[in-house]
Structure formats: C-alpha cells, structure tokens
C-alpha cells in the first residue's frame, strides 16, 4: 500500500513575547458534503442592508492558491501536492486572483476588509503586530505584510481569555492572535457583541488597501483554539463559534439567512454585497435555484479532518456555445431543427468571484475557443488561450436548473497587457470547473445558507449601451 509522504510541522517559538504556532502541510485532500437545511428559502426582495465593493487585483489569493493547486497537480490516492506561492514574474496573466474589499467598522474605527466566501473568521491586524517572512520566519517591517492600517483595541473591545486565533493557509500565509468581542457595523447592520480575532503575528501578503478579512463561509471553519499559548494548539481541535453572518441571522438582525452578490464589470466600481436580501441592481425577475454542495479543503496528515478552506459549489447541467448569435438553444432535448441542444456537462462547479475566468474541461474549453473569430490560439508561455484583442467572441452560456445564463461578449476577452488578450474561458487541466469573475459579472448570485441553496438571476446587459 502506497503511503504518501507528509510534511506537517508545528513551528513553535517566542518572538517579541509572542508564542507562535503554524500548521504547515505540503499535502491536502478535498471532499464534498451537503450542508444542513435549517430554514425555508428566503424571499428575494430588495434590502437596504447593502455595502459597496471595490475590486483589487492580487498576485495571489488564498482561494486562488488552492484552485491553482487543483489545476496544476495530479492527485496520488486522492492527495494533492502543495503548490507554493510563486513570485509575480512566474504567474501567468490569469493565475492571479481578485479580491473584493468593503468597509467595516470596529468600535469607532473604520477599515476596509477582504470579503472571503471561503473562510469564516472576521479579523484585523492589530497595532504593533509582528510581520514575518513566510519562508524563513524572520521579522520584517510591518509594511511588508501589506496591511493598510491597524486596529487598536479600545473600551468597546473585551478579550476572551483562554483562547487564541491560529490559521494557516496552503500558500504559507499564517496568522496568530487573540480572540475577543467587539461592536461591529457592516452593511448598515450593527452587531454589538461579535466574536472577532485581532492578529498580533502575521505572515501575509496584503493588497495595501485592506486591513483584514470578513469570512462568509459556514461556521465549520472558525479558527479559535483553547489555551492562550498558540504553540500548543493541536490541528483539528479548533473551537466553533458564530461568525459574523451567523450572529446576524441568529440574533434577528436580518430578516433572512442569505447574502447576495452583484459583481460589476465597471472597473471603477466592484459591485454590491447585500445581507438578508438583494442589492438595488437591474436583473431578470426569474431565478434559477440549485442546492449548495460544499467543497472542503482539508490538511492531510492531521489526526482528524482539519478543514482549512471551503468553496460554494453547484451542479451545472450543460453548456451553450456557438459562433453565431442567431442560434437558439433549448435546455431540454428537442427535435426542433431551429434550436440547438446543449452540450451535456453535468458536473460540479465552484462559484468564485475571486477567480478571473471560467475554467472548464480542457476539451470543452478548446471547442469554445475555436469559435472566436479569428480562433483563439494556445500560448504555451502563459499556458492559456490567447485571442486577438479585437476578436469576435462566440456565444457562451451555462445551464443551471434549466435556465441558460449567458456571458456578455464584452466579458469574454480579458486584456492582460497592451498587446495581449486572453479568452475568458480556459481549461481546468482535469481540476474543478470554476464559474469565475467573467461569468459572475453576468448574474445576481444569492447564497441562501439557511436553505442550503443558491439562486441566480440574469443581468448580462447592464451598463452597456
């Protein structure tokens, strides 16, 4: 029986008075599960609990790092190898991730934080934190971690004694800190007593604009550990608590247990995030609904399953693509010669606005890219389908529960450099299909976590004349 080698180390030290522990695994596994349904589907109504988003490009994000590993490594016995974060010069143009940031108030202090649907904790970098090099743990200037500003606890903050914050990501980034309660205000909702983390030790690559993170995943990923000494934390023994969205839902601060996301194609405006309803954006009145399947990334080699990141995934039923705009598609099998049937593609797909493009099976991506006029060509240097910046894109859409959601031609070509454009559809190299930012710009996405379902409404024509 083949046993894969495992590198799982707990690095413990005391630096400037801080105990440090990180759980670094060179290998990870993935699994899927269906979350529990705890409420009926929420009504799709407009809400004023809305926050505007800003889009920021990133050399690499936590979410994009895991998905890149799924594309670039072949699993041995279901075990994936770690892909270390490459320097910017080694990334292909589409490898870098996107982050969306939004304002949040802690006590009387206002910050911008990254919106992350793959993690659960809400945290900020604390004033006087120690910044470490991810490779050798040497101390760096605070600015090297890329936080815009830091949080100073005041009288509105109370530390939770006997617990610490400890999280490590696949790309080598890690955070240690303290747990506490703080009064938060987010999307117009005041949460007077929310459990949060304040980071005092960080190996992080920030965007220079944000100061922390707001996790929107299920509570199974919270990273609080018993004990004040992080060097004694045991992987898989984290303590569950209610993250920000769960507190809002359970405390009756919102009318429904859902959030929704409308990503903008406007480069100067990132879109909107709404809590408990829908943002005030144009959209088609028909919603397609489909169950949520959670894709969990687990560190391999820990005594128990140690989930470190999650993705919302859905089942896509088929694909529509053609080189003529006059083609009509029917999601159901048809004998109507005036309509075309869809390409069967019954598979799970990650819904991720932090990924730039749409990733599909290699053979499907090749067929779609052959329909550009002139056809896309394979760029071996970048490992991507390249198109002329003035090319005519094909028709492309994704079938979800019998409804086709088309991508506007304006989103099908991405300009990476003045003379380099790539297709918005790329091959996944045998990894997971991903409905990234190219597709997300064309829908209003509803994450109804209480009903364990996602809903989508079309909005591919907004903002275009």
* Residue 435, CA distances (Å) to 16, 312, 368, 377, 426 in order: 44, 11, 15, 22, 11
Q: CB-based burial of residue 370 (10 Å sphere; 0-12 exposed, 13-18 middle, 19+ buried)?
A: middle
Q: For the chain, what percentages of helix, strand and coil (3-state, to nearest 5) are there? A: 10, 45, 45
Are 179 and 240 spatial neighbours (Cβ–Cβ below 8 Å)?
A: no
The structure tokens listed for 447 are: 């994450």
Strands (E) across 89-226 are located at: 97-106, 109-116, 122-132, 139-140, 158-168, 174-186, 189-203, 212-215, 224-226
The structure tokens listed for 460 are: 């591919």
For residue 232, the Cα-to-chain-centroid distance in whole angstroms is: 30
DSSP reduced 3-state for 445: strand
Q: Which of 44, 171, 352, 399 is catalytic?
A: 352
Task: Give the C-alpha separation, 273 to 264, whole Å.
Answer: 11
Task: Give the C-alpha separation, 244 to 85, whole Å.
Answer: 29
The residue whose two tokens read 């389908």 is 385
Are 426 and 434 spatial neighbours (Cβ–Cβ below 8 Å)?
A: no
Task: Give the C-alpha separation, 449 to 340, whole Å.
Answer: 35
228 CB neighbour count, 10 Å cutoff = 14
Bridge partner list, 399? 318, 404
Rg, Å, the chain Cα set: 22
Q: Which of 116, 121, 171, 233 is catalytic?
A: 116
Are 315 and 433 spatial neighbours (Cβ–Cβ below 8 Å)?
A: no
393 CB neighbour count, 10 Å cutoff = 23
Task: Give the C-alpha separation, 109 to 129, whole Å.
Answer: 17
Q: Is the Cα dihedral 351, 412, 271, 167 positive or negative?
A: positive
**Alpha-helical regions (H) of 61-203:** 62-72
Strands (E) across 204-247 are located at: 212-215, 224-226
Known active-site residue 121:
no
Known active-site residue 266:
no
Q: Which residues are catalytic?
A: 116, 352
């Amino acid at each position: 029986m083949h046993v894969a080698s495992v590198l799982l180390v707990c690095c413990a030290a005391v630096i400037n008075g801080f105990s440090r522990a990180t759980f670094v695994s060179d290998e990870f596994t993935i699994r899927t599960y269906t979350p529990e349904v705890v409420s009926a589907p929420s009504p799709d109504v407009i809400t004023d609990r809305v926050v505007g988003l800003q889009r920021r490009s990133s050399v690499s994000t936590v979410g994009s790092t895991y998905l890149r590993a799924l594309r670039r490594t072949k699993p041995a016995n279901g075990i994936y190898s770690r892909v270390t974060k490459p320097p910017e010069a080694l990334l292909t143009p589409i490898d870098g991730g996107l982050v969306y940031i939004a304002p949040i108030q802690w006590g009387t202090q206002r910050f911008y934080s990254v919106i992350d649907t793959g993690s659960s904790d809400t945290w900020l970098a604390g004033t006087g934190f120690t910044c470490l090099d991810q490779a050798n743990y040497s101390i760096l200037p605070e600015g090297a971690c890329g936080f815009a500003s830091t949080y100073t606890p005041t009288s509105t903050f109370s530390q939770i004694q006997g617990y610490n914050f400890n999280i490590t990501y696949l790309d080598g980034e890690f955070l240690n800190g303290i747990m506490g309660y703080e009064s938060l205000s987010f999307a117009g909702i005041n949460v007077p007593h929310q459990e949060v983390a304040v980071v005092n030790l960080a190996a992080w690559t920030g965007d220079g604009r944000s100061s922390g993170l707001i996790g929107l995943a299920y509570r199974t990923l919270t990273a609080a550990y018993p004990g004040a000494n992080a060097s004694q934390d045991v992987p898989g023994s984290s303590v569950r608590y209610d993250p920000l969205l769960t507190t809002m839902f359970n405390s009756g601060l919102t009318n429904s247990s859902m959030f929704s996301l409308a990503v903008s194609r406007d480069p100067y405006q990132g879109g909107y995030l709404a809590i408990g309803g829908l943002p005030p954006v144009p959209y088609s009145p028909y919603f397609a609904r489909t169950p949520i399947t959670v894709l969990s990334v687990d560190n391999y080699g820990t005594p128990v399953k140690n989930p470190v990141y999650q993705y919302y995934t859905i089942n896509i039923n088929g694909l529509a693509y053609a080189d003529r705009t006059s083609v009509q598609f029917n999601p159901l099998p048809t004998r109507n010669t005036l309509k075309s049937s869809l390409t069967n593609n019954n598979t799970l797909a990650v819904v991720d606005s932090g990924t730039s493009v749409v990733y599909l099976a290699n053979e499907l991506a090749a067929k779609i890219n052959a329909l550009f006029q002139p056809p896309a060509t394979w760029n071996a240097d970048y490992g991507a389908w390249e198109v002329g910046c003035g090319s005519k894109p094909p028709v492309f859409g994704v079938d979800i529960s019998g409804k086709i959601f088309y991508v506007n031609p304006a989103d099908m070509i991405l300009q990476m450099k003045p003379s380099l454009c790539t297709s918005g559809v790329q091959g996944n190299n045998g990894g997971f299909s991903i409905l990234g930012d190219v597709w997300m710009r064309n829908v209003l996405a509803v994450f109804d976590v209480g009903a364990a379902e996602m809903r989508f409404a079309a909005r591919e024509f907004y903002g275009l004349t």
